[in-house]
Amino acid sequence: MKRTLLALSLLAAFASTTAYADPLLSGFGGDRDFGTLVMAPNDDGSSSQLTLPFRINFFGNAYSNYWVNNNGNISFTGALSSFTPSLFPISSAAMIAPFWADVDTRNQTDNLPNPFMNNVYMATPDSKTLVVTWDTVGYYDHHNDKQNTFQLVLKDQSATTGHAGDFDMEFRYGQLQWTTGDASEGTNGFGGRAAVAGWNAGAATNSYSLIGSGTQNVTGLVNTSNVGTDGVWRFMVRSDELPGSAPYNPVLPDNIDDGSAGWVFENMPVGTGTPIWIDPIVATGYDYLISNGPLVNGVTLLPGVGDGRYDIWLKEGGEWKLFASNVAGGEHFEFGKSVDEFRITGIETDAAINPDSPIAFATGLWFDGVGNATVTQTALTVEVLPVPEPATYGMLLAGLGMMGFAARRRRD
């Protein structure tokens, strides 16, 4: 069965106010230390066709060339002049967009402390990295009273994964002060059809708009992250494996708070025969609640964390009752029935999993039907003394090797 998955991003409830951070990569030379000026100041323009430093597999489509577009994105099948964004998916234009909006870099004098600001730069610091920077850019028509600075970073991961074309894409936000150009129904940089961040590969199952896209809340991307560093968003593209199809590339929750309200994974396309991997903020255990859609009839837990053993609880008569103890991570453990609520405990505090890591503790949920499910995952936490962050990704990869040998077990 083909896996149908959805990338959900970890994002806070945003305030549409000016925000600042400093997650930008630099040191590449040129006027602003961001590398080479990739196009002259313009409105709705694009670079010439450029060659990627490495070939990518963009959800089943291989690309070696790209265009940098002034309006906050790169495209792979031709230059793109569209200035009013749409939520993904759209029917055409394979693109990756850290901030698709009506960027206007023509005003090179007003409000700029440095004459080389309000430009778009490109750098290839090595054969495995591409960095495109929209530096202090203004918005249509000729405005730069408000300015946005953001980057797109592509990193070749084929040597790590062993699969040609595998790569990571990072969106890095230094400042976001406007969302909308005048021709997109905006006034003074806001309102109308606001910026969209995400990617589009031409199909609903492999295109995604980050939470906040298309609203004034998109400015909140500068304050939040799915990797623990404000203003940095990282997504893995692994052949045809979309977020949710593997523990190293899990679906991330829609919300971030203190954990008391749970972590919500809303409207995930799910099916039978394969797990959907989701990842919350870590703790010593989790409560799982399916509020709509297919129910869960089994779980696969991450091996290699602490002693790799867990307890499973099911709710009966409004009370939690121990269903199975000492369950091994890596096994597909079936409940023998479908449930809308269960609990996992037994994660040792000395495992010291980083609560800000997107690969901290992925969980494989096995559903009993096809549809869209909404899952809330509430962390069970304890306060411990700070400890050095462990190499969770290394533990995860080691655990994945174990999973190939895991036995299926049914509770009698």
Regarding predicted confidence, which is higher, 151 or 373? Answer: 151
Average pLDDT (202-206) is 71
Terminal alpha carbon distance of the chain: 27
Residue 360 has pLDDT above 70, yes or no: no
pLDDT of residue 344: 87
Residue 182 has pLDDT above 60, yes or no: yes
Mean pLDDT of the chain: 80
Regarding predicted confidence, which is higher, 209 or 178? Answer: 178
- Whether residues 24 and 65 share a domain: the answer is yes
pLDDT tens-digit series, residues 63-105: 999 999 999 999 999 999 999 999 888 877 899 999 999 999 9
Q: Which two tokens stand for residue 255?
A: 């919300």
1 by Cβ neighbours in 10 Å (0-12 / 13-18 / 19+) ranks as exposed
Closest C-alpha among 93, 90, 88 to residue 61: 93
- Whether residues 227 and 193 share a domain: the answer is yes
Average pLDDT (235-258) is 64
- Whether residues 227 and 268 share a domain: the answer is no
Q: Judge contact between 310 and 301, C-beta under 8 A.
A: yes
Quickly list DSSP for 147-206.
EEEEEEEEEE-HHHHS-TT-EEEEEEEEEE-----GGGT-BTTBSSS--EEEEE-SSGGG
- Whether residues 215 and 362 share a domain: the answer is no
Q: Judge contact between 327 and 411, C-beta under 8 A.
A: no
Domain boundary among 203, 237, 271: 237
pLDDT confidence tier of residue 205, bands split at 50, 70 and 90: low
- Whether residues 162 and 38 share a domain: the answer is yes
- Whether residues 35 and 160 share a domain: the answer is yes
Regarding predicted confidence, which is higher, 366 or 239? Answer: 366
pLDDT tens-digit series, residues 239-249: 756 666 666 56
In order of 18, 193, 247, 350, the CA distances from 83 in angstroms are 22, 10, 37, 50
- Whether residues 203 and 316 share a domain: the answer is no
Domain boundary among 237, 272, 294: 237
pLDDT tens-digit series, residues 300-323: 987 777 788 999 999 988 899 999
pLDDT of residue 303: 79
| 172 in any annotated domain | yes
| 331 in any annotated domain | yes
| 280 in any annotated domain | yes
| 322 in any annotated domain | yes
| 254 in any annotated domain | no
- Whether residues 183 and 267 share a domain: the answer is no
| 300 in any annotated domain | yes
- Whether residues 227 and 330 share a domain: the answer is no
Regarding predicted confidence, which is higher, 168 or 267? Answer: 168
Q: Judge contact between 212 and 11, C-beta under 8 A.
A: yes
Domains identified in the chain, total number: 2
Q: Which two tokens stand for residue 389?
A: 């962050």
| 328 in any annotated domain | yes
- Whether residues 306 and 232 share a domain: the answer is no
pLDDT of residue 307: 85
Average pLDDT (385-412) is 33
Domain boundary among 189, 220, 237: 237
Secondary structure class of 408 (helix, strand, coil): coil
- Whether residues 217 and 288 share a domain: the answer is no
Amino acid identity, position 126: D
- Whether residues 226 and 283 share a domain: the answer is no
Number of H helices, E strands in the chain: 2, 25
Q: How many whole angstroms separate alpha carbon 268 and alpha carbon 87?
A: 17
Residue 332 has pLDDT above 90, yes or no: no
Secondary structure class of 144 (helix, strand, coil): strand
If one counts every other C-beta atom within 10 angstroms of the C-beta of residue 182, the result is: 17
Residue 366 has pLDDT above 60, yes or no: yes
pLDDT of residue 381: 64
Q: Whole domain around residue 187: which residue ranges?
A: 19-237
121 phi/psi in degrees, rounded to 5: -120, 160
| 286 in any annotated domain | yes
Q: How many whole angstroms separate alpha carbon 309 and alpha carbon 326?
A: 5
Q: How many whole angstroms separate alpha carbon 281 and alpha carbon 259?
A: 8
Give Cβ neighbours of residue 391 (< 8 Å, ≥ 6 apart): none
pLDDT tens-digit series, residues 292-303: 889 999 999 877
